[in-house]
Amino acid sequence: MVQSSATDVGDYLAEVPEERRDALTELRQMCLAELKGFGEVMAYGMPAYERDGTAEIAFASQKQYISFYLLRSDVREAFADRLAGQDMGKGCLRFRKPERIDFELVRDLLKATAAEPGTIC
Q: Which of 109, 43, 39, 34 is nearest to 77 (CA)?
A: 109
Question: What CATH number has the domain bearing residue 108?
Answer: 3.90.1150.200
How many independent structural domains does the chain possess?
A: 1
Instruction: State the residue range of the domain holding 19.
Output: 9-113
pLDDT tens, 11-68?
A: 999 999 999 999 999 999 999 999 999 999 999 999 999 999 999 999 999 999 999 9
pLDDT tens, 53-69?
A: 999 999 999 999 999 99
- Under a CB-based contact definition with an 8 Å cutoff, are residues 60 and 1 in contact? yes
Residue 1 within a domain: no
DSSP-assigned letter for residue 33: H
